[in-house]
Structure 1
Amino acid sequence: MPLLICPNCQTGMNEIQRNGVHIDVCPKCRGVWLDGGEMEKLLGQVRQYEQEYEAEIERYRQQYAPPPTHHRNPYDTDDDEYYKRHGKKKSKLGRLFDLFD
Protein backbone atom coordinates (compact mmCIF):
# COMPACT_ATOMS: atom_id res chain seq x y z
CA MET A 1 0.00 0.00 0.00
CA PRO A 2 1.51 3.38 -1.01
CA LEU A 3 2.46 5.89 1.64
CA LEU A 4 1.38 8.91 -0.38
CA ILE A 5 -1.54 9.65 -2.67
CA CYS A 6 -0.90 11.93 -5.65
CA PRO A 7 -2.62 15.28 -5.04
CA ASN A 8 -3.15 15.68 -8.77
CA CYS A 9 -4.78 12.40 -9.87
CA GLN A 10 -5.43 10.59 -6.52
CA THR A 11 -3.26 7.58 -7.50
CA GLY A 12 -0.87 5.84 -5.12
CA MET A 13 2.70 7.07 -5.54
CA ASN A 14 5.74 4.79 -5.89
CA GLU A 15 8.89 5.44 -3.88
CA ILE A 16 12.14 5.24 -5.84
CA GLN A 17 15.72 5.98 -4.85
CA ARG A 18 17.98 8.11 -7.07
CA ASN A 19 21.52 9.06 -5.98
CA GLY A 20 20.74 8.28 -2.35
CA VAL A 21 17.55 10.35 -2.27
CA HIS A 22 14.08 8.83 -1.84
CA ILE A 23 11.62 10.33 -4.32
CA ASP A 24 7.88 9.63 -4.55
CA VAL A 25 6.67 9.44 -8.18
CA CYS A 26 3.13 9.10 -9.48
CA PRO A 27 2.96 6.32 -12.10
CA LYS A 28 -0.07 7.90 -13.79
CA CYS A 29 0.73 11.64 -14.17
CA ARG A 30 4.52 11.36 -13.49
CA GLY A 31 4.31 13.93 -10.70
CA VAL A 32 7.17 14.04 -8.19
CA TRP A 33 6.98 14.59 -4.42
CA LEU A 34 10.08 15.39 -2.35
CA ASP A 35 10.08 15.09 1.42
CA GLY A 36 11.80 17.61 3.68
CA GLY A 37 15.52 17.95 2.99
CA GLU A 38 15.49 15.92 -0.22
CA MET A 39 15.60 19.00 -2.44
CA GLU A 40 18.63 20.27 -0.51
CA LYS A 41 20.37 16.91 -0.99
CA LEU A 42 19.72 17.02 -4.74
CA LEU A 43 20.86 20.64 -5.01
CA GLY A 44 24.00 19.81 -3.00
CA GLN A 45 24.84 17.08 -5.50
CA VAL A 46 24.24 19.48 -8.39
CA ARG A 47 26.55 22.06 -6.80
CA GLN A 48 29.23 19.41 -6.34
CA TYR A 49 28.98 18.37 -10.01
CA GLU A 50 29.14 22.04 -11.07
CA GLN A 51 32.31 22.60 -9.01
CA GLU A 52 33.94 19.50 -10.48
CA TYR A 53 32.97 20.64 -13.98
CA GLU A 54 34.37 24.15 -13.45
CA ALA A 55 37.61 22.70 -12.05
CA GLU A 56 37.93 20.43 -15.09
CA ILE A 57 37.36 23.35 -17.46
CA GLU A 58 40.00 25.41 -15.62
CA ARG A 59 42.51 22.54 -15.86
CA TYR A 60 41.78 22.26 -19.57
CA ARG A 61 42.23 26.02 -20.10
CA GLN A 62 45.54 26.01 -18.24
CA GLN A 63 46.81 23.04 -20.22
CA TYR A 64 45.69 24.22 -23.68
CA ALA A 65 45.78 27.99 -23.25
CA PRO A 66 47.00 29.85 -26.32
CA PRO A 67 50.40 31.49 -25.96
CA PRO A 68 50.28 35.16 -25.01
CA THR A 69 50.27 37.45 -27.99
CA HIS A 70 52.73 40.28 -28.26
CA HIS A 71 51.95 43.79 -29.37
CA ARG A 72 49.25 43.73 -32.03
CA ASN A 73 48.73 46.70 -34.28
CA PRO A 74 44.96 47.33 -34.31
CA TYR A 75 45.26 49.26 -37.56
CA ASP A 76 46.36 46.25 -39.56
CA THR A 77 42.91 44.73 -39.96
CA ASP A 78 40.48 47.45 -38.94
CA ASP A 79 39.26 49.50 -41.92
CA ASP A 80 37.33 51.93 -39.74
CA GLU A 81 40.51 53.04 -38.00
CA TYR A 82 42.24 53.46 -41.35
CA TYR A 83 39.44 55.73 -42.59
CA LYS A 84 39.57 57.75 -39.38
CA ARG A 85 43.28 58.42 -39.94
CA HIS A 86 43.33 58.86 -43.73
CA GLY A 87 39.75 59.62 -44.67
CA LYS A 88 37.73 57.61 -47.12
CA LYS A 89 38.94 57.78 -50.69
CA LYS A 90 36.60 59.98 -52.71
CA SER A 91 35.47 59.30 -56.24
CA LYS A 92 36.05 61.75 -59.08
CA LEU A 93 32.42 62.85 -58.84
CA GLY A 94 32.84 63.48 -55.10
CA ARG A 95 35.91 65.62 -55.77
CA LEU A 96 33.89 67.64 -58.29
CA PHE A 97 31.28 68.48 -55.66
CA ASP A 98 34.06 69.55 -53.26
CA LEU A 99 34.54 72.55 -55.57
CA PHE A 100 31.24 73.96 -54.29
CA ASP A 101 32.23 73.79 -50.61
Structure 2
Amino acid sequence: MYKVIKVPPYFSERLWGGRKLADFGFQLPTDDLYGEAWVISALDNGMSYIANGPEAGVSLKTFFANHPEYFGTTDKEFPLLSKLSQQMIIYPFKFILMMNIF
Protein backbone atom coordinates (compact mmCIF):
# COMPACT_ATOMS: atom_id res chain seq x y z
CA MET A 1 0.00 0.00 0.00
CA TYR A 2 1.29 3.45 -0.93
CA LYS A 3 1.20 6.36 1.43
CA VAL A 4 1.06 10.00 0.33
CA ILE A 5 3.20 12.20 2.53
CA LYS A 6 2.60 15.93 2.25
CA VAL A 7 5.65 18.10 2.80
CA PRO A 8 5.22 21.90 2.65
CA PRO A 9 8.17 23.76 1.12
CA TYR A 10 10.76 25.76 3.01
CA PHE A 11 11.08 29.29 1.60
CA SER A 12 14.49 30.91 1.66
CA GLU A 13 14.64 34.70 1.78
CA ARG A 14 17.25 36.20 -0.52
CA LEU A 15 18.30 39.75 -1.29
CA TRP A 16 18.03 38.90 -4.99
CA GLY A 17 14.68 37.18 -4.56
CA GLY A 18 11.21 38.28 -5.48
CA ARG A 19 7.60 37.08 -5.56
CA LYS A 20 7.70 34.96 -8.76
CA LEU A 21 7.57 31.67 -6.86
CA ALA A 22 3.87 32.40 -6.32
CA ASP A 23 3.45 31.97 -10.11
CA PHE A 24 4.24 28.27 -9.57
CA GLY A 25 1.36 27.87 -7.13
CA PHE A 26 3.29 28.42 -3.91
CA GLN A 27 1.59 30.38 -1.15
CA LEU A 28 4.38 32.59 0.12
CA PRO A 29 4.12 33.10 3.89
CA THR A 30 4.88 36.85 4.02
CA ASP A 31 5.52 39.79 1.70
CA ASP A 32 9.30 39.24 1.91
CA LEU A 33 11.50 38.52 -1.12
CA TYR A 34 12.03 34.79 -1.57
CA GLY A 35 14.76 33.45 -3.80
CA GLU A 36 14.27 29.73 -3.35
CA ALA A 37 11.57 27.23 -2.51
CA TRP A 38 13.08 24.05 -1.11
CA VAL A 39 10.32 21.64 -2.07
CA ILE A 40 11.92 18.55 -0.49
CA SER A 41 14.84 18.87 1.90
CA ALA A 42 16.42 17.03 4.80
CA LEU A 43 19.10 19.67 5.35
CA ASP A 44 19.27 21.15 8.85
CA ASN A 45 19.11 24.76 7.61
CA GLY A 46 15.97 24.20 5.50
CA MET A 47 14.26 21.11 6.87
CA SER A 48 11.00 19.75 5.46
CA TYR A 49 8.39 18.56 7.96
CA ILE A 50 5.58 16.06 7.42
CA ALA A 51 2.22 17.88 7.26
CA ASN A 52 -0.29 15.02 7.42
CA GLY A 53 -1.06 11.73 9.12
CA PRO A 54 0.27 10.36 12.38
CA GLU A 55 3.78 11.58 11.51
CA ALA A 56 2.69 15.23 11.21
CA GLY A 57 5.37 17.55 12.57
CA VAL A 58 8.18 15.01 12.20
CA SER A 59 11.18 16.14 10.17
CA LEU A 60 11.81 14.45 6.84
CA LYS A 61 15.26 13.49 8.12
CA THR A 62 13.76 11.60 11.09
CA PHE A 63 10.98 10.05 9.02
CA PHE A 64 13.52 8.82 6.47
CA ALA A 65 15.67 7.28 9.22
CA ASN A 66 12.67 5.52 10.79
CA HIS A 67 10.90 4.41 7.58
CA PRO A 68 13.39 3.71 4.77
CA GLU A 69 10.91 1.23 3.26
CA TYR A 70 8.79 4.16 2.01
CA PHE A 71 11.68 5.49 -0.05
CA GLY A 72 13.05 2.35 -1.69
CA THR A 73 16.67 3.06 -0.85
CA THR A 74 19.30 1.87 1.59
CA ASP A 75 21.07 5.23 1.85
CA LYS A 76 21.87 6.38 5.38
CA GLU A 77 20.85 10.00 4.69
CA PHE A 78 18.01 11.41 2.63
CA PRO A 79 19.57 11.68 -0.86
CA LEU A 80 17.57 14.54 -2.40
CA LEU A 81 17.21 18.31 -2.33
CA SER A 82 14.57 19.57 -4.72
CA LYS A 83 14.27 23.34 -5.09
CA LEU A 84 13.05 26.08 -7.37
CA SER A 85 15.10 29.23 -7.62
CA GLN A 86 14.04 32.71 -8.65
CA GLN A 87 16.82 35.17 -9.28
CA MET A 88 16.73 38.83 -10.03
CA ILE A 89 19.59 39.88 -12.29
CA ILE A 90 21.02 43.30 -11.52
CA TYR A 91 23.11 44.81 -14.27
CA PRO A 92 26.09 46.58 -12.64
CA PHE A 93 26.22 49.50 -15.11
CA LYS A 94 22.53 50.27 -14.66
CA PHE A 95 22.97 50.05 -10.89
CA ILE A 96 25.92 52.48 -11.02
CA LEU A 97 23.84 54.95 -13.04
CA MET A 98 20.99 54.66 -10.56
CA MET A 99 23.38 55.43 -7.70
CA ASN A 100 24.63 58.59 -9.53
CA ILE A 101 28.25 57.50 -9.16
CA PHE A 102 29.29 59.15 -12.45
Structure 1 length-normalised TM: 0.26
Higher Cα Rg, which structure: 1
Give the structure with the higher percent helix.
Answer: 1
Greater relative contact order: 1 or 2 (C-alpha under 8 angstroms, separation 6 or more)? 2
Give the structure with the higher percent strand.
Answer: 2
